Amino acid sequence: MIAETITSTVGAMRDQQSTQLVGRARQILSRELSFVPNRNFVEMQHQDAWRGCGRVDGVEDAGNGPTVQLRPGLPAHLLRLCEVSIMTAEEEKAAFRRMNFLKYFYNHHRMLLDSEEVSVEQLDMMDSLLQRSERIRNDIISSSIRLVISIVKKYCTPHCVFDDLLSDGIISLVRAVDKFDFDRGFRFSTYATQIIHRDLWRAIARDQKSRTRFNTGNKVFIEGQTAEEKSRIEERSSGRVLRTIDQLLGRLDERERMIVSGRFGLESSGKKETFAALGKKLGISKERVRQLAERAVLKLRSSAQELGIEEEQWIA
């Protein structure tokens, strides 16, 4: 009797492990990474290819880039953003090459993956490739934040405040990191500067168009609320908004979509992020994120009316 129970338990555990492996494999199969191709990638069929740069290897293994001591006086959130040291030309090329190779290697193994015949070692290796490429990507972004700040300062006006433009600039920087071809012979800062300038011009133009439409009514509405009422609006808006959010997100700008998606758990992970976490990603204070979230909710309400979506359908 005891032997039968043990056998049954072991069998159930194996079935559960097999189901978990299949689930992990299917998740990997559904997630293709974009990368900048290089003709030399095909020749390198070992995941440790192109290691040897001290900074990049250290970031890949531990996740922490070298830091520098900054002058006092900067706001705390800017000090945190700028604490990673700027990359040399050699470090930069090594970082982009290694990051894109890890993504290429991940996609290569992803195409060979069979969800029905997969091992824990295979899946762990692929998860490791993804994590290591992400660490290098984060270090490239962090080391380039000062470039964004230097550009954003030139665009500040009474209507275009620094924190808003900085978050737009960081989004543009992330886009540039994902598109930069390290093998073309010029520095990343040259490429990123063009992308950031272009996107800031577009963001300012969008803001000028939307200001007339939204600012007056939204400002009166927000300023007329007590702190308790503002809190209640946010809580109510986080209820049924998920039912029709796909139709409405297209009416928000990229920064607002990022805040709404993170705040209400609309990313693939399903995790709801705090204002502080979102502020760290965007380079702005958590209070500014809260303000932008309120503005986005008001835009969603206006868009819902235009689309003929009843307020009761998406507000609890």
Q: Are 98 and 55 in contact (CB under 8 A)?
A: no
Q: Which of 109, 95, 96, 97 is closest to 33 using CA atoms? A: 109
pLDDT for the residue numbered 135: 95
34 three-class SS:
coil
Pull the structure tokens for residue 309: 């979506």
CATH, range 225-316: 1.10.10.10
- Written as six digits, the tokens of 268 are 């693939």
Number of Cβ within a 10 Å radius of residue 214 = 15
- Segments of the chain assigned to CATH 1.10.10.10: 225-316
Collapsing DSSP states into helix, strand and coil, what is residue 4?
helix
Query: Is 187 within 8 Å of 98 (Cβ atoms)?
Result: no
Per-residue pLDDT of the chain (316 residues; tens, 9 = 90+): 555 555 555 455 455 677 888 888 888 888 778 899 998 888 877 888 888 999 999 999 987 889 888 777 778 888 888 899 999 999 999 999 999 999 999 998 888 888 778 888 988 999 999 999 999 999 999 999 999 999 999 988 877 888 889 989 999 999 999 999 999 989 999 999 999 999 999 888 877 776 665 555 555 555 555 566 555 555 554 444 445 666 677 778 888 888 888 887 766 556 778 888 888 888 888 888 888 888 888 887 777 777 666 554 444 4
Q: Which residues, other chains included, contact 280 with Cβ-Cβ below 8 Å and sequence gap of 6+?
A: 77, 80
Local structure of residue 214 (DSSP, 8 states): I
Q: What letter would DSSP give residue 67?
A: B
Q: Rounded to the nearest 5°, which phi and psi values hold at 182?
A: -70, -15
- Using DSSP's 3-state secondary structure scheme, residue 39 falls into coil
Q: Give the helix ranges, DSSP H, for 70-144.
A: 76-81, 89-112, 120-143
Residues 81/82/88/89 CA torsion (nearest 10 deg)? 60
- The number of angstroms, rounded, from the C-alpha of 279 to the middle of its chain's C-alpha atoms is 12
d(CA 239, CA 248): 15
**C-alpha distances out from residue 182 to 37, 57, 91, Å:** 10, 18, 11
For residue 230, the model assigns a pLDDT of: 57
Instruction: Determine the pLDDT at residue 267.
Output: 67
Residue of 88, 110, 89, 100 whose CA lies nearest to 137: 100
pTM of the model: 0.66
Predicted confidence at residue 193, as pLDDT, reads 96
